[in-house]
Structure 1
Amino acid sequence: MLCKIFFAEQFDALRQRCGVAERFVESLSRCLKWDSKGGKTKSVFLKTLDDRLVMKSLSPVETSAFLRFAPDYFNIMAKTLFHDLPSVLAKMLGFFQVLIKNPLTNTELKLDLLVMENLFYDRAPTRIFDLKGSMRNRRIQSTGEHNEVLLDENMVEYIYESPLFAREHAKGLLRASVFNDTLFLALQNVMDYSLMVAVDEDKKELVVGIIDCIRTYTWDKRLESWIKDRGFAGGGRNRPTVTSPKEYKSRFREAMKRYILQSPTCWDQFRVAPPNHAAAPRPRFEEMEGPK
């Protein structure tokens, strides 16, 4: 068995700053295959038994994209961790190439493994959403299963009944973070990322993070976008999930602003009341079809 470590010094510095360096190897020494219950990827997922870390196998295309992406990722992490740049990028904490050879059968297995933080470590979310800002095939039939991952249309249905609010400061940080992160990702020619949102109804908290940050707009994604945009794959009611990084960035920003609202403040009582002093209507989200 061979293990090649990529960007060893940079990742070590990042882990030190994030406070996970001391237990990193100990965590990795005990892990199991994990069903992430979300997305359509064929990647292998592993999760450490202490629930701290998640590993994902990358395809050769994703590996090449990550190796180009990594230096700029370390730069934005430095700005985030040392200069307080608002960001909700889920932290990538290591990248390894593992090669296992069997001398008896003369076969070998190679895995390119990206190690990431588990966004929901030490949490007990009651709802989890994987949000891309698209309404095309972004709904699943909920079964109520533990850790079930719901999609954009499920989110719209959920917030119609129970709107999600964040306090003014938190909402401002989220808005700034999404703006910074999507700008960075668009400059890297990255699209198809998601905002993971976990709703902890008991603690009245939201946990958020942007994941899948290394899928670049390659020729296959361009072709997929072209086919879906012309309605050849299921109708043209909405814009396709896959689109150019610039369009994806704009659509993503607009959707995230609407999914999570700013909670009312004490100053709201001084605003003009609706006609006949009727109660203000509950926010509606029919327009969440996405920007035209």
Structure 2
Amino acid sequence: YPKDVPLDSDSITINGSTKSTGIPHVSVTAQGTGVLNSGIGDKTGTVGNRHIKIQFSDSTTNFYCCIYYAAEFFRLRQLLLPQGDTGFIRSLSRSFQWDALGGKSGSLFMKTRDERFVVKELSTIEMKTFHEISQQYFDYLIGAALEQRLCVLSRILGIFHVGFKNSLSGEAHRFDVLVMENLFHDRTQLAFIYDLKGSLRKRLVDESSAFKNSSKPSNADLPVTGQLSENRHTVVARGGSNVVECNQLDSDGSKRPPVLLDQNLLNASVDSPLYLRVHSKNALSHCLQVDTDFLANLFLMDYSLLVGVDLSTNQLVIGLIDYLRKFTFDKRMEMMIKQTITSVQGPPPTILTPDLYRERFLVQMDNYFPLVPDQWYDSLAEHAEAWLIRASPTPIASAAQPLFQSQVNSAKNIEH
């Protein structure tokens, strides 16, 4: 948006023409009833309309863009991106459509040419969810950035509504998109990528076909106990993309490994576990405890942990992804149906209440990444409560408890 448009204006409209681009009319409108800010410390909860609308047209087509939560995202980008909005805009100026075969939503995906950002089309439910949690999201992410606090939530850096209509052909398109950081930017030596939900139901990919068009690392390349270097298992806790790919080419022509799931990791862990040292295990456990507690208190679920195994740096690159899904009526119905048809001997259903989903997720993530054995291993494993940093769970608002209490009790009884 133009630099001469102040973000705290109640109503601003700018009209003009640009001969160099052939755009005869540009209209920028910032609407609001109060000063646009991050909302941190605002106890009133009334910030007004925080969106900026831009319309422009050429001889045949009208274009439209709405920048949702412009000031809040601007503040977040200033804290997270070294080049601020300048680099952000330059990256978005060149992008390409991208087949993210790791996703199942069927949404449109795009990537910027410099591989820094991923653009994902949002569903109506995801858009509604973000509007409902926007203030808590900005408070949490901006607070983490200001306090230099580790956070593994994938970082959404902008949400937009874009569209166009051709007056001659009548063709028109409108959709909501989010722009997020690409977790695997500048990571060219990823051996494996895992999308982990903590569930084993339908969480297995046929590796023979998945690696058909990509080179699979041998067991000698994987982290094993006897070959650990001093910094082999540093955990990089950063935000990232909620998009992964399978046998896709990057902009430089290099291939990414396919996306594997929970059961694939368990199968590989029989011979080559992903060991973590104490400090890395502590950091990962603490981040997951705190971030999933934040999500559960907002009744968010269905998230997963995206893990990239980088052999060039001996690091695990991680990020919590796909968390814009609330435990709504349709999710409760899906849970009840799955519980009805699931065999007693089979794994529990994927759909649980937010608290139960979080509990299962944390237990499984703890199992997926064991401590590296050393002379103190037995003592550490038996006294985890002495060295693990445990976040104190924040109680869910009492007003919301009666709505879900019966479902929580029912799910616990079935699970046990």
With the length of structure 2 as denominator, give the TM-score of the two structures: 0.62
Alignment of 1:199-278 (within 5 A): 199-231=309-341, 237-265=346-374, 267-268=376-377
Residue type of the partner of 2:347?
N
Partner of 1:33: 97
Query: Are the equivalent residues in 1 in contact too, given 2:371–2:377 (CA < 8 A)?
Result: no
Alignment partner of 1:81 is 2:145: yes
Aligned-partner Cα distance in 2 for 1:195–1:270:
28
What is the SS of the residue equivalent to 1:166? Answer: coil
- Greater gyration radius: 2
Aligned-partner Cα distance in 2 for 1:128–1:191:
21
Query: Are the equivalent residues in 2 in contact too, given 1:53–1:116 (CA < 8 A)?
Result: yes
Aligned-partner Cα distance in 1 for 2:379–2:100:
47
Query: Are the equivalent residues in 2 in contact too, given 1:34–1:45 (CA < 8 A)?
Result: yes
Residue type of the partner of 1:205?
Q
More displaced, 3-12 or 137-146?
137-146
Q: What is the alpha-carbon root mean square deviation over aligned residues? A: 1.9
Alignment partner of 1:60 is 2:124: yes
Aligned-partner Cα distance in 2 for 1:270–1:10:
46
Aligned-partner Cα distance in 2 for 1:90–1:48:
17
1:234-257 deviation digits (Å, cap 9, x = unpaired): 987111112111110101100111
State which of 164, 182, 195 in structure 1 corresponds to 2:305.
195
* Per-residue deviation, 1:217: 1.1
Query: Are the equivalent residues in 1 in contact too, given 2:100–2:109 (CA < 8 A)?
Result: yes
Partner of 1:121: 185
1:115-165 deviation digits (Å, cap 9, x = unpaired): 110000000211000000000001110121433111110111111211111
Aligned-partner Cα distance in 2 for 1:256–1:83:
26
What is the SS of the residue equivalent to 2:349? Answer: coil
Aligned-partner Cα distance in 2 for 1:181–1:269:
29
Aligned-partner Cα distance in 1 for 2:331–2:278:
37
Aligned-partner Cα distance in 1 for 2:258–2:272:
18
* Per-residue deviation, 1:203: 2.3
1:93-125 deviation digits (Å, cap 9, x = unpaired): 000000111111223211100111000000021
Query: Are the equivalent residues in 1 in contact too, given 2:197–2:304 (CA < 8 A)?
Result: yes
What is the SS of the residue equivalent to 2:179? Answer: strand
Partner of 2:195: 130
Aligned-partner Cα distance in 2 for 1:270–1:56:
46
Aligned-partner Cα distance in 2 for 1:100–1:236:
53
List alignment gaps of at least 5 residues for structure 1: 272-290
Query: Are the equivalent residues in 2 in contact too, given 1:132–1:152 (CA < 8 A)?
Result: yes
Alignment partner of 1:14 is 2:70: no
After superposing on structure 2, the runs of 4+ consecutive aligned residues of structure 1 that deviate more than 6 Å are none
Residue type of the partner of 1:52?
R
Aligned-partner Cα distance in 2 for 1:269–1:220:
45
More displaced, 56-65 or 34-43?
34-43
Identity of aligned residues (%): 39
1:49-86 deviation digits (Å, cap 9, x = unpaired): 11000011111111111111221111111231112333
Partner of 1:173: 283
Tell me: CA distance 1:175–1:141, structure 2 relative to 1, closer, same or farther (3 Å): same
What is the SS of the residue equivalent to 2:351? Answer: coil
1:33-59 deviation digits (Å, cap 9, x = unpaired): 112221311211111111000011111
What is the SS of the residue equivalent to 1:23? Answer: helix
What is the SS of the residue equivalent to 2:350? Answer: coil
Aligned-partner Cα distance in 2 for 1:6–1:236:
47
Alignment partner of 1:139 is 2:204: yes
Aligned-partner Cα distance in 1 for 2:334–2:345:
13
Alignment of 1:94-105 (within 5 A): 94-105=158-169
What is the SS of the residue equivalent to 2:159? Answer: strand
Structure possessing the higher relative contact order (Cα contacts under 8 Å, 6 or more residues apart): 1
List alignment gaps of at least 5 residues for structure 2: 1-62, 215-255, 381-414
Aligned-partner Cα distance in 1 for 2:116–2:185:
6
Query: Are the equivalent residues in 1 in contact too, given 2:133–2:298 (CA < 8 A)?
Result: yes
Query: Are the equivalent residues in 1 in contact too, given 2:109–2:121 (CA < 8 A)?
Result: yes
What is the SS of the residue equivalent to 2:158? Answer: strand
**Structure having the larger proportion of residues in helix:** 1
Aligned-partner Cα distance in 2 for 1:250–1:40:
24
Aligned-partner Cα distance in 2 for 1:223–1:39:
23
What is the SS of the residue equivalent to 2:275? Answer: strand
Residue type of the partner of 1:139?
L
